[in-house]
Amino acid sequence: MSSGPVYSKGVDISCNPPQEISYPLPKARLTALAILPVVFALLGLFLLVDAVTAGESKRGNDSVSLPDIEPISAIPLKVDVNWDKVALGEKLFNDPRLSHDGFLACASCHQLDQGGDDGLPLSITNTGEPGVINAPTVFNSAFNFRLTWRGRFRTLDDQVEAVLHNPMEMNTNWTEILPKLQADADYTVLFSRLYLDGIKGKNVLDAISNFQRSLITPNARFDQYLRGRRDALTEDEKQGYQLFRTYGCAACHQGVNVGGNLYQKLGIFMDYFAGRGKVTEADFGRFLETGADSDRYVFRVPSLRNVAVTAPYFHDGSVSDLEEAVQKMGEVQLGETLAKAEISLIVKFLRSLTGEYRGRSLDME
Ligand code: HEC
Ligand code: HEC
């Protein structure tokens, strides 16, 4: 327990610079953000050239020589958060009093023992009806450069505030929430220990954000491999990783979250929606934010961290099988029909991305 009030250090890691940049470095961060597009453009180009030059020999063949640069970096083993605020944020995350009628808590749709999502194709609304979009995991979301499928928010605070006000989700507001929390003796004590001004909306957001920043899943076998334990992966998983790079998956799924740092169109080589049925508003992606035609069907490339435990897949939750998701990606994003054996190797690699939360593998479900 800390003594006396503790203040947030004002470090916002939710609008995430790449992992290599250490916090807090406000000036360096600005520079980093300015050069990010160039870095990603170069990395993307490099990986695509890599994919093209690997040509025919990319079929999981050991003789392919890959460049030394790793497109993926390991999740740090520790985060810098205020653990008292994390404990308070965790309590709030599990508290249905944050919704209008007490039906939903954050944890209803983001179940930490189920990969941080709800396992449903489309998340439910507060009336229990299916909603319009799949719930992404909350694990590692602080590493994403923007939040939600279409990248609506830059910070976790903005995301949470929007969820609370969303009529389909928590459907509430501060005038309703604060008196409920103030009537609770536990909260009164906890908030007053951590915040001079006690139970206030901004402090609720701050506590939940601290909790969310603590939701990292380090120590996946793949990360152990990146840290130098070459035997942490099986030969099949290594071949799967090689295919992931040579085919060019890593041109989009890269960085610490194996995604989450770029926008890309869904359906570059083939119309994704053609075989699926009626296009809904949720399919428009970033277009809904910008109104630009070029942003139609553009989404934030999702993180593939823990992807083996976060089915069903895609923004529409239309695919429940990871093999099928990989096959579809090959078709619509790369114009490639992947062989069954290749898909199986890539999936083995993807399974090695499952990490640990509080020392326990997310795989143990
Ligand atoms: C009714 C189900 C539901 C509830 C309750 C809910 N969420 Fe979500 N959450 C979603 C869905 C669906 C999305 C994706 C929205 C989109 O992309 O437009 C999402 C997205 C998110 C994201 C963005 C993740 C990313 O990487 O893009 C975060 C963070 C998040 N929720 C945190 C919370 C917190 C904190 C609460 C409680 C205050 C909460 N959610 C309550 C369903 C829910
Ligand atoms: C051009 C960019 C791009 C390339 C290349 C790409 N992806 Fe994706 N990937 C995306 C986008 C965008 C989505 C989100 C689609 C959606 O919103 O429905 C996605 C989604 C996924 C998902 C579902 C994740 C989830 O949580 O729902 C998986 C799995 C995946 N990709 C694996 C791969 C694999 C394996 C490859 C290589 C064979 C690949 N991707 C190539 C952009 C790309």
Structure tokens belonging to residue 21: 């940049």
- The pLDDT value given to residue 38: 46
Ligand 1, atom 15, residue with closest C-alpha: 148
Residue pointed to by tokens 């507060």: 126
pTM reported for the whole predicted model: 0.86
Whether ligand 2 lies within 6 angstroms of the CB of 307 is answered as: yes
204-237 per-position pLDDT tens digit: 999 999 999 999 999 999 999 999 999 999 999 9
Distance 52 CA to ligand 2 centre (A): 19
Helix (H) or strand (E) holding 264: strand 263-265
Give 147's strand partners.
153
- The pLDDT value given to residue 276: 86
Distance 337 CA to ligand 1 centre (A): 33
Whether ligand 2 lies within 6 angstroms of the CB of 40 is answered as: no
Ligand nearest to the CA of 282: 1
Distance 356 CA to ligand 1 centre (A): 21
Determine which of 11-20, 146-155, 315-324, 343-352 has the lowest per-residue pLDDT on average. 11-20
Ligand nearest to the CA of 125: 1
- The pLDDT value given to residue 69: 82
Determine which of 28-32, 36-40, 198-202, 357-361 has the lowest per-residue pLDDT on average. 28-32
Determine which of 22-31, 62-71, 168-177 has the lowest per-residue pLDDT on average. 22-31
- The residues assigned a catalytic role are 169
Mean pLDDT of the chain: 85
171-207 per-position pLDDT tens digit: 999 999 999 999 999 999 999 999 999 999 999 999 9
CATH of domain 83-213: 1.10.760.10
- The pLDDT value given to residue 65: 52
Is the pLDDT at 43 greater than 80? The verdict is no
Picking from 310, 309, 88, 323, the residue whose alpha carbon sits closest to that of residue 207 is 88
* Ranges of each domain in the chain: 26-76+217-262+301-364, 83-213
User: If you classify domain 26-76+217-262+301-364 with CATH, what class do you get?
Assistant: mainly alpha
Whether ligand 1 lies within 6 angstroms of the CB of 144 is answered as: yes
What percent of the chain lies above the pLDDT cut of 70? Answer: 81
77-109 per-position pLDDT tens digit: 999 999 999 999 999 999 999 999 999 999 999
Cα-based angle 330, 124, 361 (whole degrees, multiple of 5)? 60
- The pLDDT value given to residue 6: 28
3-state secondary structure of 261: coil
Whether ligand 1 lies within 6 angstroms of the CB of 177 is answered as: no
Q: What is the mean pLDDT of residues 240-251?
A: 97
Close Cβ partners of 256 (under 8 Å, ≥ 6 residues apart): 16, 18, 19, 72, 73, 74, 75, 140, 143
Same fold, 26-76+217-262+301-364 and 83-213: yes
Q: With both helix axes pointing from N to C terminus, report the angle between 201-213 and 156-165 in degrees, rounded to the nearest 10.
A: 120
Ligand 2, atom 39, residue with closest C-alpha: 249
Close Cβ partners of 172 (under 8 Å, ≥ 6 residues apart): 98, 99, 100, 164, 165
Residue pointed to by tokens 């152990």: 224
Picking from 117, 139, 121, 168, the residue whose alpha carbon sits closest to that of residue 260 is 139
Distance 303 CA to ligand 2 centre (A): 9
Whether ligand 2 lies within 6 angstroms of the CB of 258 is answered as: no
Whether ligand 2 lies within 6 angstroms of the CB of 353 is answered as: no
